[in-house]
Amino acid sequence: MPSRGEHTRAVHPPAAPVPGQVPMGLPVYRTAAFSFSSAQEYADLLNDDLAGYSYSRVDNPTSDAFAQAVAALEGVNVEDEVVGQAFASGMAAISTVLMSLTHAGAHVVVPREVYGGTYGLLTTVLDRFGVTASFVDSTDLDAVRAAVRPETTVLWGETLANPTMSVADLPALSAISREAGLTFVVDSTFASPAVCRPIEHGVDVVIHSATKYIGGHSDATGGVAVGRPEVMAKVRHDRIDLGGMLAPDEAFLLHRGLATLPLRVDRHCRSALAVATAMAEHPRITRVDHPGLPTHRDHALAGKLFDAGRYGGVVTVTPEGGREAGMALCDRLRLVAVATSLAGTHSKVSHVATTTHRQLDDAALAAAGIDPGAVRISVGLEDPEDLVADLEQALDAL
């Protein structure tokens, strides 16, 4: 090899070794670009005539490994192939999937109690491009059928609704979607594949904010969508053009979270049921939303669709006194943090009307069945007795 200058030698060190053994941890491909053996290889890869990697906005091995791991969890009990696409956030996944499945003049049927970010996307962004949405009571199957129009392309659902914890009747909604020739998309963030796997019930595309239960430690932001290859090919195409790709370092952390997902979710669920049971007996609480309670409207449906004993790790409580009482309850907690997001190791609360559903006015909140005083509790991994004690002292101080 000819002698080269110091700057060239610094830029071109010897290639890293490629181990012959399988690594126990997921390798992080912290690179923006990949090189090729020829110009033709580069061209073939960009045209999808050759498998491989060119640019990490397009695809990255670490991010792909994460997406396929989630697809394997969601698709474990179905015969058809399930593939995944990774995104920089849950909203990046939601927006890309909706843009892939709609067009100017298209129509979407959505639950009234849909996540505020999805509501905002449909009412303040996609509507500017000619996409319309009907917000319906998704527990009323006749209302869902009646909302479908000739121009409808997507039926949207949430396995567990935020924050009312209503349970979607996935088989029945899937049947409506099939009859109308729609694509049924479900946001399953509040459930995770450790509670329910919607594809088993006929859903076409499942979305997660992986920031939540999948990551599980409040230290990484990401999203993922999984579904049939033909649908996900369209999603991948638009994900590349829109640019919302998951970074490899985040993908590593989210992939690592999958290893403990069943363990964590089982504890989240058991502790949430203990908190819900205690809050249902408190005289200052007028309503508790958690499907693990026998009094919850969807308790029986959850028992059919969810893994045994797992009803989700979120409890929504409504104290007497309205909006001010809800905010005061949050402020008087000592152990549970007022914090963004959910599903991490630490328990968190948020006043729903001013945070996750701030996009909804009082009329829209009422239509969604959300009281202005509602407080969403994301139950963490602490001892449930300590969480109940903290909530009780906060309620007593109201």
Measured from the Cβ of residue 385, the count of other Cβ atoms closer than 10 Å reads 12
322: left (phi over 0), alpha (psi -120 to 50) or beta: left
**Residue 21 in domain:** no
Measured from the Cβ of residue 10, the count of other Cβ atoms closer than 10 Å reads 9
Instruction: Give how many domains the chain has, as a whole number.
Output: 2
Is residue 268 over pLDDT 90? yes
Residue 121 DSSP code = I
Q: At what angle do helices 229-242 and 90-101 cross, to 10 degrees?
A: 110
**Residue 127 in domain:** yes
pLDDT of 1: 60
Mean pLDDT of the 72-95 span: 97
- Within 8 A by CB and 6+ apart from 278, the residues are 388, 391, 392
pLDDT per position as a tens digit, 217-252:
999 999 999 999 999 999 999 999 999 999 999 999
**Residue 167 in domain:** yes
Q: How confident is the model at residue 366 (pLDDT cuts 50, 70, 90)?
A: confident
pLDDT per position as a tens digit, 162-216:
889 999 999 999 999 999 999 999 999 999 999 999 999 999 999 999 999 999 9
- Within 8 A by CB and 6+ apart from 393, the residues are 332, 334
pTM equals: 0.95
Task: Please provide the distance, in angstroms rounded to a whole number, between the alpha carbons at the two ends of the chain.
Answer: 78
Identify which of 170, 154, 123 has the alpha carbon closest to the alpha carbon of residue 234. Answer: 154
**Residue 31 in domain:** no
**Residue 286 in domain:** yes
Residues 254 and 269 in one domain: no
Residues 94 and 184 in one domain: yes
Residues 300 and 383 in one domain: yes
Q: Are 248 and 360 in contact (CB under 8 A)?
A: no
Is residue 334 over pLDDT 70? yes
Is residue 2 over pLDDT 80? no
**Residue 325 in domain:** yes
CATH of the domain at 296: 3.90.1150.10
Residues 61 and 91 in one domain: yes
**Residue 378 in domain:** yes
Residues 178 and 113 in one domain: yes
Residue 20 DSSP code = S
pLDDT of 3: 85
pLDDT of 363: 86
Q: Which residue has the higher pLDDT, 365 or 102?
A: 102
Mean pLDDT of the 353-372 span: 85
Residues 118 and 75 in one domain: yes
Q: How far apart are CA 24 and CA 305, in angstroms?
A: 34
Identify which of 193, 208, 123 has the alpha carbon closest to the alpha carbon of residue 158. Answer: 208
Q: How far apart are CA 396 and CA 398, in angstroms?
A: 6
Domain range for 232: 39-258
Residues 390 and 270 in one domain: yes
Residues 324 and 375 in one domain: yes
Residues 62 and 209 in one domain: yes
pLDDT of 359: 81
Residues 174 and 250 in one domain: yes
From 258, 274, 293, the end of a domain falls on 258
pLDDT per position as a tens digit, 24-68:
999 999 999 999 999 999 999 999 999 999 999 999 999 999 999
123 to each of 110, 161, 244, 291, 359, how far by Cα in Å? 11, 19, 21, 29, 10
From 210, 239, 258, the end of a domain falls on 258
**Residue 242 in domain:** yes
What is the percent of the chain with per-residue pLDDT over 90, rounded to a whole number? Answer: 92
Please give the full DSSP string across 291-347, using - where no structure is assigned.
TTSTTSTTHHHHHHHSPTT---SEEEEEETTHHHHHHHHHHH-SSSEE-SS-SSSS-
What is the percent of the chain with per-residue pLDDT over 70, rounded to a whole number? Answer: 100
Q: How far apart are CA 395 and CA 331, in angstroms?
A: 11
Residues 225 and 266 in one domain: no
CATH of the domain at 217: 3.40.640.10
Residues 251 and 275 in one domain: no
Q: How far apart are CA 381 and CA 46, in angstroms?
A: 45
From 258, 281, 296, the end of a domain falls on 258
Mean pLDDT of the 131-142 span: 96
Measured from the Cβ of residue 386, the count of other Cβ atoms closer than 10 Å reads 12
pLDDT per position as a tens digit, 308-328:
999 999 999 999 999 999 999
Q: Is 11 helix (H, G, I), strand (E, B) or coil?
A: helix
Identify which of 237, 227, 235 has the alpha carbon closest to the alpha carbon of residue 82. Answer: 227
Q: Which residue has the higher pLDDT, 115 or 258?
A: 258
Q: How far apart are CA 134 and CA 144, in angstroms?
A: 9
Q: How far apart are CA 370 and CA 325, in angstroms?
A: 15
